[in-house]
Structure 1
Amino acid sequence: MTTQLSSPYRINPTSWNAGFRYDQAQLRPAPTQLLTVAGQGSIDAEGQLLHVGDMTAQMALAMANTEDLLARGGMDLRDVTRLVVYVTDMDAALAAYGAITERLDAAGATPPATLVAVARLAVPGMAVEIDATAGR
């Protein structure tokens, strides 16, 4: 049996994830284009880390850098099929997560997402790194 889907078909058997603005799963038609975004941090155009010690500002700039690459690929947050957020301090990340949810809300996006605590990231002082996969 073939089912015609609106894209994406959101799968959320519970609602606890709604506050974080992500779906537990999504079923989408196979994309004709796939964009993979390498980890984005709070890095400026010259490669300098900004906002050392400020999780919220780092999260906001990492999301802005991710959105910039999506736009350059002709996509936006609604096209993201997988979002992974790596952080060095989970408590600070949870307190600052509004920097991510406000951008997801503005785009009307709820991509499947994972928040992962790591011991450190590649650049000293970096507290957040975001990678994404998008398809259209």
Structure 2
Amino acid sequence: MEKRTVDPWKWGEYTNSAQAVDVKQPEGTLYCSGQVAIDENGQVSDADMRTQLLQTIRNVEQLISEAGYECRHIVRLNVFTTSTAEFFTTCLDVYQGFTARHGIKQATTLVEVKGLYQTATVELEATVVK
């Protein structure tokens, strides 16, 4: 697989993402359903958004790994949250740490929504290539 990011504007260097990701000759593509803070017993967290994001990231990492892929090959990562203001003030460092830890440079969209599954406040939806 060959992966190239496209970021035609200088400000793009500071967004912790890419404006586009070009993938050539992938061996496979994994389309992940949106992941929220659900524990191994199927219980949705009612914790604060930061705590939920930490669990959500663990779920994303486990899902991708068990599917035989690597987080560093995430090419699209959509974020859905019930409050973008809260996400930026309490979760941005966690999100940036996740992408930096895996060397992810992805196309991304951040969307504020009225509600998510049960008590979830943040959801991540990934596309990963091999």
Residue in structure 1 matched with residue 2 of structure 2 by the alignment: 7
- Of residues 63-72 and 8-17 in structure 1, the stretch that sits farther from structure 2 once superposed is 8-17
Q: 1:129 aligns with which of 106, 123, 126?
A: 123
Unmatched runs of 5 consecutive residues or more in structure 2: none
Residue in structure 2 matched with residue 110 of structure 1 by the alignment: 105
Q: Segments of 4+ in structure 1 off by > 2 A?
A: 15-20
Q: Is residue 2:32 matched to residue 1:37? A: yes
Given that 2:18 and 2:108 are in contact with CA atoms closer than 8 Å, whether structure 1 keeps it comes out as yes
Unmatched runs of 5 consecutive residues or more in structure 1: 1-5
- DSSP 3-state at the match of 1:38: coil
Residue in structure 1 matched with residue 22 of structure 2 by the alignment: 27
* Alpha-carbon offset, residue 17 of structure 1: 3.9
Normalised by the size of structure 2, how large is the TM-score? 0.90
Counterpart code for 2:127 = T
The whole-number CA distance in structure 2 between the counterparts of 1:74 and 1:135 is 10
In structure 2, relative to structure 1, the CA distance for the partners of 1:121 and 1:115 (3 Å cut) is same
The whole-number CA distance in structure 2 between the counterparts of 1:107 and 1:132 is 14
In structure 2, relative to structure 1, the CA distance for the partners of 1:54 and 1:71 (3 Å cut) is same
Normalised by the size of structure 1, how large is the TM-score? 0.87
Q: 1:16 aligns with which of 11, 26, 32?
A: 11
The whole-number CA distance in structure 2 between the counterparts of 1:97 and 1:63 is 13
% identity of equivalent residues:
26
